[in-house]
């Protein structure tokens, strides 16, 4: 068989040129498979004479052995090449610095930090934390809080109304956290001492207002609370929150439907450019609203205003966060800007406490 040397050369050349294991397997089948070129030569041995079979059989089997050995060698080479490529692609550069853990890179949002600070201060005064839904009934958000029909706060330019129900009633995105005061008085017997931090919603947006913002309200209901208690609570809160030894406050008459009498509270401060320092100076800054709970509100919650009385206050969490930590624009609170949170955020383990300090 004169074709054996040529076939051997062709097969060995093809095996050496195989670029991957799939191509090599195809060559193996083409040469040594059931219908392969070498197998076809072995099938011709049955038609030869004994002497020819002896000579040609040895030559064909030798070709088969050479091709098989070449296949094994090339397969090993391809496997090594594949491994080398994989190792290069999966190499870990151990000279790179270790990435910081979440505890090092993560930051607590200033709103969360301030809520924790508020909670720590009022918890030390004996207040619990109350919560309620963001979507409220008109009754809880307005009517039971002594808002008469036609009050401007019910109008579309202040309130986000939900679509009307078949009976004509509409839910609202709560415009303040005061509905939780109603829910608390309806479900808890006095004495009541709670604070209510949470999200609120109004149709407003500028440098100091956003459609969604955060409030904290406080409520005290018992048989003996009075204005002096209210003033003490607010003074102690301001001293603790702004971390000053003394603070002067000014109470001005105002009007809120759910308190009577009602007051706006100013706090003494010193302004130096964009910097505001509390507990000193000759300026005043409005910081919150407060008053004695209106008898109608107490009555609406099933309590006798001739027996029970109380006081309440409310302030913007976003606003006092801006004042304490020097943030110029309220809208940045909600921009999800990583650079902003890296600058103004707080380390996760620096939890506020009255012992270790509030601002970390």
3-state class (DSSP) for residue 134: coil
Residue 223 has what pLDDT?
A: 95
Query: Does the structure show a pLDDT above 70 at 192?
Result: yes
* Pair 191, 54 in one domain: no
* Pair 254, 312 in one domain: yes
Residue 260 counted as an annotated binding residue: yes
Residue 101 inside a domain? The answer is no
The helix (run of H) or strand (run of E) holding residue 319 is: helix 317-325
Q: To 10 degrees, the CA torsion angle through 200, 311, 231, 117?
A: -40
Handedness of CA 18, 23, 27, 32 (dihedral sign): positive
Number of domains in the chain: 2
* Pair 119, 85 in one domain: no
Query: Does the structure show a pLDDT above 70 at 157?
Result: no
User: What mean pLDDT do residues 261-276 have?
Assistant: 86
* CA-based max dimension of the chain: 130
pLDDT in tens, 93-136: 778 777 777 777 788 899 999 999 999 999 999 999 999 999 99
pTM: 0.68
Residue 261 has what pLDDT?
A: 94
* Pair 22, 136 in one domain: no
User: What mean pLDDT do residues 283-302 have?
Assistant: 93
- Rounded to whole angstroms, the Cα distance separating 170 from 135 reads 10
Query: Does the structure show a pLDDT above 90 at 68?
Result: no
3-state class (DSSP) for residue 136: strand
CATH number of the structural domain spanning residue 210 = 3.30.930.10
User: What mean pLDDT do residues 28-51 have?
Assistant: 75
User: What mean pLDDT do residues 222-237 have?
Assistant: 95
**Cross-strand bridge partners of residue 136:** 172
Residue 349 inside a domain? The answer is no
- Rounded to whole angstroms, the Cα distance separating 226 from 248 reads 20
Q: What is the DSSP string of 249-314?
A: EEEEEEEETTEEEEEEEEEEEEEETTEEEESSSSEEEEEEEEEEEPHHHHHHTT--TTT-EEEEEE
pLDDT in tens, 287-296: 999 999 999 9
Q: Is 71 exposed, middle or buried (0-12, 13-18, 19+ CB in 10 A)?
A: buried
* Pair 213, 304 in one domain: yes
Average pLDDT, the chain: 85
Query: Does the structure show a pLDDT above 90 at 333?
Result: no
Domain of residue 140 covers 109-344
* Pair 17, 123 in one domain: no
């Amino acid at each position: 068989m004169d074709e054996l040397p040529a076939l051997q050369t062709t097969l060995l050349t093809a095996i050496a040129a195989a670029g991957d294991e799939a191509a090599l397997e195809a060559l193996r089948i083409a040469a040594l498979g059931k219908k392969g070129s070498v197998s076809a030569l072995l099938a011709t041995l049955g038609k030869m004479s004994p002497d020819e079979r002896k000579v040609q059989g040895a030559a064909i089997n030798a070709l088969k052995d050479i091709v098989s050995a070449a296949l094994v060698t090339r397969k090993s080479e391809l496997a090594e090449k594949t491994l080398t490529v994989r190792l290069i692609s999966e190499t870990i550069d151990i000279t790179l610095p270790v990435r910081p853990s979440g505890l090092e890179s993560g930051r607590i949002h200033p709103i969360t930090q301030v809520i924790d600070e508020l909670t720590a201060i009022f918890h030390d005064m004996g207040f619990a934390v109350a919560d309620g839904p963001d979507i409220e009934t008109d009754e809880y958000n307005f009517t039971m809080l002594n808002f008469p029909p036609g009050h401007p706060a019910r109008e579309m330019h202040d309130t986000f109304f939900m679509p009307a129900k078949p009976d004509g009633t509409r839910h609202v995105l709560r415009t303040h956290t005061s509905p939780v005061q109603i829910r608390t008085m309806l479900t808890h017997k006095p004495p009541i001492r709670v604070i209510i931090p949470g999200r609120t919603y109004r149709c407003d947006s500028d440098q100091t207002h956003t459609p969604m913002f955060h409030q904290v309200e406080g409520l005290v209901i018992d048989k003996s609370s009075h204005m002096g208690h209210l003033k003490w609570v607010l003074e102690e809160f301001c001293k603790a929150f702004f971390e000053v030894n003394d603070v002067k406050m000014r109470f001005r008459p105002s009007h809120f439907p759910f308190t009577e009498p009602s007051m706006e509270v100013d706090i003494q401060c010193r302004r130096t450019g964009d910097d505001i320092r509390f507990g000193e100076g000759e300026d005043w800054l409005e910081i919150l609203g407060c008053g004695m709970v209106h008898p109608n509100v107490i009555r609406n919650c099933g309590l006798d205003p001739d027996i029970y009385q109380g006081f309440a206050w409310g302030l913007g969490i976003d606003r006092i966060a801006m004042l304490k930590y020097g943030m110029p624009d309220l809208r940045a609170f909600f921009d999800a800007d990583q650079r902003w949170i890296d600058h103004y955020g707080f380390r996760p383990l620096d939890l506020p406490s009255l012992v270790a300090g509030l601002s970390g």
